[in-house]
Amino acid sequence: MQPFKPSTIFYTPDSLNDRGIKALQTYVDAKHVEIKQHNRLPAIDGNHFQVKSDVLVLGKLKTLICRESGRSSDFISPSLANGCMGACAYCYVDRNKPVNPITLFTNTEEILGAVEKHVQKQAWPKIPNQTHAKFYTYDIGCNSDISVDAVLSDSVKETVDFFAKHPKAFATFATKFVNPELLTYEPAGKTRIRFSLMPATVSKLVDVRTDAIEKRIAAINDFYQAGYEVHLNFSPVIVYEGWQQDYRELFEKLNQEVHPQVKARMSCEVIFLTHNQWQHEANLAINPKAESLIWTPENQETKRSQFGGINVRYQYQLKAQLVQEFKALQQEIIPWCPIRYIF
């Protein structure tokens, strides 16, 4: 992982508990600026992508709500952070925000308290589903990348510890980074890490500032050894001339590298690309090569998002065919990795 060295830290006074103070002290050379609200930042110099690596915001999360999910998890926990230093061309976390630096929420104990309250209200035992046969699953990384958040404070360690000891709740997150610090935690099989994978040549173009696909694949066995459940997140699947051959090669590499013990417990999820008009326009100035792969109006259709933006996705009938092609490849080459869901 490339180091994160913000030159400016904005903080709200209520974020300065021990964790917040420690984060400020970690970056003593950065300019520290007090603000009233973590989601109302003053004007910041630099484009969207520079801001993601140069600015950190410390805040206190006020809305402590667990939301329904049903796909990657049963529920989405209140966010430990929002934003990420990566600059993936299609990142949904960045949509509709002119600048989106990492905001670290320092009130981890309150966030976990909300999960505790929520899970205790659920019927027990849980009815088994595709997210887990026994435990209620909480996605802890829907608005950030947890591997990056773990660099900023002890909040991820505390969260992994919380779930490790919890009799009913189970954590899960997808990541595009490899942070070896996580290997020193003790997840006790109660945190599922979902390494996000796509063909390496495409990832180099669209997954800006994340860790290389080869590195993510090489980390799979290590994370299993360290006590994580390891799944795969094939997301986003980008369609272009020859995509099937590139996925064939990716699957063959997985066949070679994933240890048999890990294969026996691994599943995956598959999500075809959704992109966004605002992002497309912002990317054109910075990463036009990526856009030629992910903005393909000839095979995409538009959909107005719940926030009013224009999203694009592969045309309905084409998508049905793509899903079948992906499933056939998975069955042929990595049948040990069943698909939990695909869309």
Point out which span in 84-92, 277-285, 321-329, 335-343 binds ligand SF4 (CB under 6 A): 84-92
Among 86, 101, 187, 199, binds ligand SF4 (CB under 6 A): 86
Residue 138 bridge partners (DSSP) = 75, 171
In the complex with ligand SF4, which residue's Cβ is closer, 95 or 166?
95
DSSP letters, 68-130, are E-SSSSSEEPPPSEEB-S---TT-GGGTT-S---EEEE--HHHHHHHHHHHHHTS-SSPPPBT
Mask of contacts with ligand SF4, 170-199, x by CB under 6 A? ------x-----------------------
102 binds ligand SF4 (CB under 6 A): no
Interface map 126-145 toward ligand SF4 (x if CB under 6 A): -------------------x
Nearest distance from C-beta of residue 324 to ligand SF4, angstroms: 26
Give the binding-site size for ligand SF4 (rule: CB under 6 A): 9
Closest CB 94 distance from ligand SF4, rounded Å: 6
Closer CB to ligand SF4, residue 115 or residue 290? 290
Please give the Cα distance from 199 to 34 (Å, whole number). 43
Could you say whether residue 76 binds ligand SF4 (CB under 6 A)? no
DSSP state, residue 223 = H
275 interacts with ligand SF4 by CB under 6 A: no
Q: Which of 300, 294, 301 is nearest to 280 (CA)?
A: 294
